[in-house]
Chain A
Amino acid sequence: MTTTLMAQLQQRHTVTVLVENHAGVLARVAGLFARRGFNIESLAVSVTDKPEVSRMTIVVGGDHRVLEQITKQLNKLVEVMKVVDYTETAAVERELALIKVNAEPKDRAEIMQIVEIFRGRIIDMSEKTFIIEVTGSPDKLDKITDLLESYGIRELVRTGIIAMARGAKTASRSGRESSE
């Protein structure tokens, strides 16, 4: 692994936070990040297989000391049940994007080719536009976005990363737990 890649990895962490599914928990977590000066790159929240538990996937910038403080401070929140850092764990990370791109008749074939190469789907079509749905790693979404840029992107939305450890491990049962 090159040193620059190492450095990048140290700067970006994917943290999964299991929280009690109460009103206001998101505000507590987001407030903590703001207050302590931690920088959120993306945040995805949804309920889990257990309705009383919500799962937040947060991508955050900072070195390992910053990450350590983040996990410790998160653990202090009463409603936070578990914090798992996937940085050094084999995990799959996925993000979904919806891209509304100009699609004049003369460009349509080209765009459809690009979409196919990226295993995306066209889910809406008008006289002048497509909406493209594409799923994958953030890198992959960056790349297709770059390629579509030349046609003119009208609107773009990304979900933020969600992550899951490979193999039988689960966030609630194992994974690299934050120090306590």
Chain B
Amino acid sequence: MKLSGAQILLECLRQEDVTHVFGYPGGAVLPIYDAIFDCKDILHILVRHEQGAAHMADGYARSSGRVGVCLATSGPGATNLVTGIATAYMDSIPMVAITGQVKTTALGKDAFQEADITGITMPITKHSFLVKRTEDLPAAIAEAFYIARTGRPGPVLIDIPRDVGEWKIEFDVTTDYPRNVTIPSYRPASPNGRVPELQIRKAAQLIAESIRPVLYVGGGAIASHAQEEVTALAEKTNILTTTTLLGKGAIDETHPLSMGMLGMHGTAYANHAVNSSDLLIAVGARFDDRVTGNVDKFARGAKIIHIDIDPAEIGKVIQPDIPIVGDVKVILTELLKHVLPREATAWNDTIMEWKRRFPLVYPDDGKLYAEYAIEELSKAFDNECIMATDVGQHQMWAAQYFKCKRPNQWVTSGGLGTMGFGLPAAIGAQFANPDKRVVCLSGDGSFQMCTQELMTAVVYKLPIVTMIINNRSLGMVRQWQEMFFSERYSQVDLQASPDFVKLVEAYGGVGYRCTTPEELKDVLAQAMKIIDRPVVIDCLIPTEENVYPMIPSGQSVSEMLVKTDLESVKASVHADGSEWSFSDEEKVLAQYVEIASEISR
């Protein structure tokens, strides 16, 4: 049968089990939208800005593990996707972005709405295709999906000129769609690949010999669906585990062996455990600067096992003692066969003691704080909801206080740190998970960067609960200006913001405002009952609140700032009357020795 390029595109998307396409029409994609008009089995979600479409595809992918798909027209449509594609690239999220392009005959002529989008996105895509013949379209689509989801996942762009979508060619999907893609020059580590057994044995040996091991787990474990294996490894060896911002959910954060997040705003105990460790097992993590701070001072006494699917990550920042390249799930499955069971030791007790003494804390003085609001939000949904966040202080508080039970529950822009990501990502997550509740945690700054997608949520009756942590300020920038720029608050004042309650009402959603902890409880109870439209809860918190603990950029654990000005913390720090301070490396190790000797007695 003769089909147009646009019809072939949809046939091929069906072959890839695509059920949702987030997009926005325009001139160059008219043939594709004409084909979509007849398409009943793929839901096209009309967004309000192409950036929203890219973030939705991203949120869809992060919350489901499937490939997200977005569609935009040429020129401005395509360039509006760029931030979303870069966000997905930095966090290795599988996504296929389809863009329209001017006709092949007009390419390179500065035609109306022409932009060299394959050129523009070259540094932020895993690969890209400019399809110049309709005959090449099926292979390009098959390869795009294959590349996006295999190996280290990432976004792939397919640029389709208008006439390529119009031309008709003979096409039979059963014979003309390449089901098994092989690209000779692309050989990703696969789940069926060879296992580097020697390296794994050496790793098991190091684990057996180590005294103060720590497991450091990143987004690679989520991409590899390796929660069971990570948890099994932690449990078999009794090794305390810390997750990165993107690794949240790789182990249940309420698990006794979980230390929560590490890094710049990680828990004090996770950072001290890593810093004092003699063996760091990095699993699908890339030693990002927000994790390591000053690399020269990071985990100096530790041997390092680095497991990653991407060979280029090995040795990029830190030279490991044992590099293991491969799929995290495959490698951990094999490693589990070789590691010996290990009892909890004095090292475990030390960390538990740190956990007890240096918990995450916030004041209990009757005011509404972000940390409390996040805890209440989590409680209201029994920690079962999917949480999408924006970027800034609220994101770090959420990383600290929202305890993930499982993978794909936490949707946040880590690498790129994209403000405006939260709401559209939550929408994408809701489409991927119609049976789950989805919440979006945002800030008064971030929320205003993609607010227009409230309309999309209203049109599709999505019951997403957005909580705005509103401090009338660009809080994270303000925090840095307070600490490192002599309180010179330059351009961070957001007193002038819309009335978020009225704003969401204007879109057709429901808005609430909270100023006290009591109000919040009531509002949450009401918000949960709304299941046919989006809800926005505007939480007014004090402007001056900062995120702690904090390791200033480029520094190390010994420079960690904790909330020592708070009475509650002081009480716990000095519970034994000692002068013990957390920012003293030697004393941390002395503490370990002390506890260790107590245990052995």
Contact = CB atoms under 8 A, between A and B. Distances in A.
A154 interface: no
Contacts of A78: 126-127, 147, 183, 185-186
A141 B79 CA distance: 46
Given A78-B147, A81-B185, A24 B310 contact: no
Interface of B: 118-119, 122-123, 126-127, 130, 147, 183-187, 310-312, 314-316, 325
Interface string A99-136: 00000000000000000000000000000000000000
A81 B123 contact: no
A173 interface: no
B310 A27 contact: no
Given A20-B185, A24-B118, A27-B119, A69 B316 contact: yes
A66 to B, nearest CB: 11
Given A28-B122, A179-B311, 7 more contacts: A20-B185, A27-B119, A31-B123, A75-B311, A77-B127, A78-B127, A80-B185
A68 B315 contact: yes
A27 to B, nearest CB: 7
Interface string A123-165: 0000000000000000000000000000000000000000000
Nearest to B147: A78
24 contacts: A19-B185, A20-B185, A24-B130, A27-B119, A31-B122, A31-B123, A35-B123, A68-B315, A69-B312, A69-B315, A72-B314, A73-B312, A75-B311, A75-B312, A76-B310, A78-B127, A79-B185, A80-B185, A81-B184, A81-B185, A179-B311, A180-B187, A180-B311, A180-B325
A24 B118 CA distance: 9
B88 to A, nearest CB: 16
B122 A27 contact: yes
B315 A65 contact: yes
A19 B123 CA distance: 18
B306 to A, nearest CB: 13
Contacts of B310: 76
Contacts of A28: 122
Contacts of B315: 65, 68-69
Interface string A62-104: 0001001100110111111100000000000000000000000
Interface of A: 19-20, 24, 27-28, 31, 35, 65, 68-69, 72-73, 75-81, 179-180
A131 B21 CA distance: 61
Nearest to B312: A72
Most A-side CB within 10 Å, residue of B119, B147, B185: B185
A69 B317 CA distance: 10
A75 B314 CA distance: 14
Contacts of B312: 69, 72-73, 75-76
Contacts of A80: 185
A27 B122 CA distance: 9
A165 to B, nearest CB: 20
A31 B127 CA distance: 13
A79 B186 CA distance: 7
B313 to A, nearest CB: 9
A78 B122 CA distance: 12
A130 to B, nearest CB: 40
Contacts of A179: 311
A147 B187 CA distance: 49
Most B-side CB within 10 Å, residue of A75, A78, A179, A180: A78
Nearest to A74: B312
Contacts of B187: 180
A35 B121 CA distance: 13
When A and B form their complex, which 6 residue pairs have the shortest distance between CB atoms, in order from nearest? A72-B312, A81-B185, A78-B127, A78-B186, A72-B311, A35-B123
A69 B310 CA distance: 12
B331 to A, nearest CB: 15
Contacts of B316: 69
A76 to B, nearest CB: 6
Nearest to B132: A23
Nearest to A28: B122
A15 to B, nearest CB: 15
Contacts of A75: 311-312
Nearest to A18: B185
Nearest to A68: B315
Most B-side CB within 10 Å, residue of A19, A24, A35, A65: A24
Contacts of B127: 77-78
A65 B118 CA distance: 30
A120 B311 CA distance: 45
A77 B154 CA distance: 12
A180 B122 CA distance: 23
Contacts of B147: 78
Nearest to A70: B312
A81 B311 CA distance: 15
A88 B373 CA distance: 61
